[in-house]
Amino acid sequence: MTITAKHQQLVLQQFARQVARDIPLTDFMQLEFRDYTGLEIRIDAPLAPNINDKNTGFGGSLVTLATLAGWSLLSLLCREQGRCCEVVIGESSIRYLAPATDQFYVWGAIQRQVRQQLQQALQRGEGYKAAVSAEVMVNQQVVALFNGTYFIKPLAPRAPCLSSANGLSLAGARRRFNRKQKAGYL
């Protein structure tokens, strides 16, 4: 593993902790962020907390995992550029090909050209619309194909990224709201 790859894995681990804190559903799903290359991301999910009444992977869990892979990939790319951005899904489609009968994982990917165009847009302080594709897999079998269009809006320069680490988590926002409400400001 090169220094760059080691650095990307450290960034991914830190990002995974933030996601688990800030998006409670991901913690319940017991997701594990496994790999990030700058063009691809892999996230694993165990079957047990994501199971349906047929003892296979719940379709909602599969699409959540795929959507999260695209969001995570683009959020990490923005951070690599030193920018905190709002990344939101605008449109998506998923095609289920087979049941997920065991632990499943997703490979989310963007094309190199999309990465370069996103970097250029961020350098200019502009937003960008990016296409992400993902394959949800069990072992080596593709069980679902996902395509998503995400909108990326850079926040003001030097704006903090949303995270529990800097007090901007959902829980932190709730505490601040409750304090203001008790103090009579709201």
Q: What is the mean pLDDT of the chain?
A: 87
Q: How confident is the model at residue 175 (pLDDT cuts 50, 70, 90)?
A: low
Domain ranges (residues) in the chain: 3-157
Cα three-residue angle 32-81-34, rounded to 5 degrees: 15
Element (H or E) spanning 8, and its range?
helix 3-22
Dihedral sign from CA coordinates of 100, 72, 34, 108: positive
Instruction: Report whether 30 contacts 45 (CB < 8 A).
Output: yes
Round to whole Å and give the CA distance between 75 and 4: 18
Burial classification of residue 158, based on how many CB atoms lie within 10 Å of its CB (0-12 exposed, 13-18 middle, 19 or more buried) = exposed
Using 50, 70 and 90 to split pLDDT, how confident is the model at 7? confident
pLDDT at 167 over 50: no
For the segment 63-96, what is each residue's pLDDT rounded down to a tens digit? 999 999 999 999 999 998 888 899 999 999 999 9
For the segment 89-114, the average pLDDT, to the nearest whole number, is: 97
Q: What is the pLDDT of residues 114-163, one digit of tens each?
A: 999 999 999 999 999 999 999 999 999 999 999 999 999 998 765 656 54
Which pLDDT score is estimated for 2? 52
| 3-157: CATH topology | Thiol Ester Dehydrase; Chain A (3.10.129)
* pLDDT at res. 9: 83
CA distance 87 to 37: 19
Q: Which residues pair with 109 in a beta bridge?
A: 40, 133
pLDDT at 165: 38
pLDDT at 10: 86
Helical segments of 29-184, H only: 59-80, 112-123, 170-182
Report which residue type is found at 55.
N
Q: Where does the pLDDT of residue 11 fall: very low under 50, low under 70, confident under 90, or very high at 90 and above?
A: confident
Q: What's the rounded Cα separation, in Å, for the pair 171 and 147?
A: 31
3-state secondary structure of 128: strand
pLDDT band of 173, cuts 50, 70, 90: very low
Residue 164, pLDDT score: 38
pLDDT for the residue numbered 169? 41
